[in-house]
């Protein structure tokens, strides 16, 4: 009940900052446009590389504003109030991660059919990309949350966050793209799908605890 | 009982305080005074559980607040620092609800106590510093905390606001609550003093 109330209030706050929702979407559309122009000469290459382009663009759009995840709450003192309240920091981390996924990833996923059609992808390919993104983006968000907690009071934190998080996202990217590759060749994609699911379960189990620990340590020793 | 034993804190080369010990019993009020940069806020942050002391211990009901499960202390203590913890994209009423949810408070602020909040549905960002302070201090009304730790609770408040907060504090102390606060203003409260 407390979790739900916090989630609703956090959602209300985020929905009023609609610039934060449109910027990653705009970035994604621009990236797609640039790639389309770049591969204008050979549309077969564009169709072949479309899943990789979509996955990398989604990852980059997601990291675009990830450094701001806890900044506002730290600046206005809300984070300190959470730390000192009976509500666990872990609950707060989950609320932030869920809202961030809803704010950034859900609009990107809803836009996927349009992007897929513009890349001349088949319905089956779009469906597979959507499934892999549904499994991959929550892990990206959890890694981004951890990165945002670690670099909270660091200078030039946007660059630092990318340097810290991008290497950790590589396994997710590899398994996500393997599923699409195998599926488009008509092969069984159970193994990479299991690995991607396992990565999601592992990150969902461990990362919020580490994020909460990083936030607590950051405040205690600031 | 809140007990501080041998607290020391040094920032860069400057020692803010050393070997500071005191205890606060039910009904006690402690005012910390000192010039700018004397370490008043640091001391309050240490007592609230936000910043571990470099030396010394803080005990709440005989348990070290930095080495035991802080859950009891988190329920029993209310801290209000310089940063008010107000989300400016939310309305006044939503901010209150948010903090009541965080504190798991079962005593919602009654509408009669919100008479000055006639514009409770406006975004908090349009409020003045004094109004934001009042909004933050409204948490005292819905709180069942035994100890209040307040950093400059009277700053930015007009005379009516100051009297309102003093009245709240008196009611809290009469109910055997405890208070630790810092203030540069002269206040009409009987309190022990610690000068840093």
Nearest to A65 by CA among A28, A114, A40, A39: A28
For B28-57, what is each residue's pLDDT tens digit?
A: 999 998 888 888 999 999 999 999 999 999
The strand pairing partners of B14, in sequence order, are B11
Better-scored residue on pLDDT, A1 or A32:
A32
Domain extent, residue A190, equals 2-220
Q: What is the ipTM of this complex?
A: 0.89
- What is the rounded distance in angstroms from the CA atom of residue A22 to the CA atom of residue A16? 12
pLDDT at B124: 79
Partners of residue B148 on adjacent β-strands: B78, B179
Instruction: Indicate whether B85 pLDDT > 80.
Output: yes
Tell me the three state secondary structure of residue A119. coil
pLDDT at residue B101 in the model = 86
In DSSP notation, A53-118 reads HHHHHHHHHHHHTGGGTTHHHHHTTHHHHHHTSSS-HHHHHHHHHHHHIIIIIHHHHHHHHHHHHH
Q: Which residue has the higher pLDDT, A71 or A18?
A: A71
What pLDDT does residue A211 have? 96
- Domains of chain B (ranges, CATH numbers): 2-195 (3.40.50.300)
pLDDT for position B111: 55
Q: How many domains does chain A have?
A: 1
pLDDT at A153: 80
- Residue A63, pLDDT > 70, answer yes
Task: Look up residue A10 and give its DSSP letter.
Answer: H
Average pLDDT over residues B172-178: 91
Give yes or no for residue B106 having a pLDDT over 70.
no
In which element (H, E) is residue A166 found? helix A157-184
Which pLDDT score, from 0 to 100, does residue A166 have? 92
Average pLDDT for chain B:
84
Of the candidates A5, A75, A86, the beta carbon closest to that of B74 is on A86
| Residue of chain B whose alpha carbon sits nearest to that of A4 | B101
| C-alpha–C-alpha distance, residues B180 and B162, integer Å | 16
DSSP B6-60: EEEEEETTEEEEEEEEEEE-TT-EEEEE--TTSSHHHHHHHHHTSS--SEEEEEE
The pLDDT confidence band at residue A68, using thresholds 50, 70 and 90, is: confident
- Do residues A59 and A137 make contact, with C-beta atoms less than 8 angstroms apart? no
* Calpha distance A23→A26 (Å, rounded): 5
Q: What is the mean pLDDT of residues A95-113?
A: 92
B89 to A81: CB separation less than 8 angstroms, yes or no:
no
**What is the mean predicted confidence (pLDDT) over B5-23?**
88
> Is the CB of B50 less than 8 angstroms away from the CB of A86?
no
Give A140's pLDDT tier (boundaries 50, 70, 90). Answer: very high
End-to-end CA distance of chain B: 22
Examine the pLDDT at B118 and tell me if it is beyond 70. no
**Which pLDDT band, with edges at 50, 70 and 90, does B128 fall under?**
confident
**Phi/psi of residue A142, each to 5°?**
-65, -40
Q: Mutate which of B85, B123, B143 to disrupt the A interface (most A C-beta within 10 Å)?
A: B85
Average pLDDT over residues A189-214: 94
Which residues on chain A are in Cβ contact (under 8 Å) with B86?
A: 76-78
Residue B58: per-residue pLDDT? 93
Edge-to-edge strands of the sheet including B55-60?
B14-24, B2-11, B55-60, B63-64
Q: Where are the beta strands (DSSP E) in chain B?
A: 2-11, 14-24, 29-33, 55-60, 63-64, 77-80, 147-151, 178-182, 192-195
> What separation in angstroms does the CA of B31 have from each of A73, B175, B196?
29, 19, 11
Average pLDDT over residues A174-190: 91
Token digits of residue A188? 């069984």
Out of A81, A86, A221, whose CB is closest to B85? A81
Å from A74 to nearest chain B CA? 9
What's the pLDDT tens digit per position in B130-169?
A: 888 888 888 888 788 899 999 999 888 888 888 888 888 9
Cα four-point dihedral sign B102, B107, B109, B113? negative
């Amino acid at each position: 009940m407390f979790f739900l109330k916090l989630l609703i209030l956090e959602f209300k706050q985020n929905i009023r900052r609609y610039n934060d929702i449109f910027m990653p979407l705009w970035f994604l559309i621009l990236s797609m446009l640039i790639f389309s122009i770049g591969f204008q000469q050979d549309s077969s290459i564009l169709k072949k590389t479309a899943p990789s382009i979509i996955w990398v663009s989604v990852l980059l759009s997601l990291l675009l504003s990830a450094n701001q995840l806890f900044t506002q709450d730290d600046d206005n003192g809300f984070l300190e109030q959470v730390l000192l309240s009976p509500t666990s920091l872990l609950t707060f981390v989950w609320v932030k991660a869920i809202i961030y996924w809803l704010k950034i990833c859900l609009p990107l996923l809803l836009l996927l059919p349009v992007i897929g059609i513009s890349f001349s992808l088949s319905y089956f390919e779009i469906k597979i990309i959507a499934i892999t993104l549904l499994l991959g983006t929550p892990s990206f968000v959890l890694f981004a949350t951890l990165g945002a907690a670690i670099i909270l009071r660091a200078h030039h934190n946007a660059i630092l966050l990318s340097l810290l998080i991008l290497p950790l996202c590589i396994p997710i990217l590899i398994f996500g793209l393997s599923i699409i590759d195998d599926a488009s060749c008509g092969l069984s994609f159970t193994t990479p799908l299991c690995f991607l699911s396992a990565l999601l379960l592992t990150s969902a189990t461990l990362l919020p605890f580490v994020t909460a620990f990083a936030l607590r340590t950051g405040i205690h020793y600031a | 009982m809140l007990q501080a034993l041998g607290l020391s804190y040094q920032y860069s080369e400057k020692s803010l305080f050393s070997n500071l010990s005191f205890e606060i019993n039910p009904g006690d009020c402690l005012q910390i005074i000192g010039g700018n940069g004397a370490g008043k806020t640091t001391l309050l942050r240490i007592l609230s559980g936000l910043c571990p002391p470099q030396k010394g211990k803080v005990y709440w009901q005989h348990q070290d607040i930095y080495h035991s499960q802080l859950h009891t202390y988190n329920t029993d203590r209310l801290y209000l620092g310089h940063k008010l913890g107000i989300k400016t994209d939310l309305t006044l009423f939503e901010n209150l609800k948010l903090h009541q949810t965080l504190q798991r408070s079962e005593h919602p602020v009654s509408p009669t106590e919100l008479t000055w909040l006639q514009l409770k549905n406006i975004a908090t960002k349009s409020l003045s510093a004094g109004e934001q302070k009042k909004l933050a201090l409204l948490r005292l009304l819905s709180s069942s905390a035994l100890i209040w730790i307040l950093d400059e609770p009277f700053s930015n408040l007009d005379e009516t606001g100051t009297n309102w907060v003093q009245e709240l504090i008196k009611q809290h102390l009469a109910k055997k609550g405890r208070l630790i606060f810092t203030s540069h203003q002269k206040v009409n409260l009987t309190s022990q003093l610690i000068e840093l």
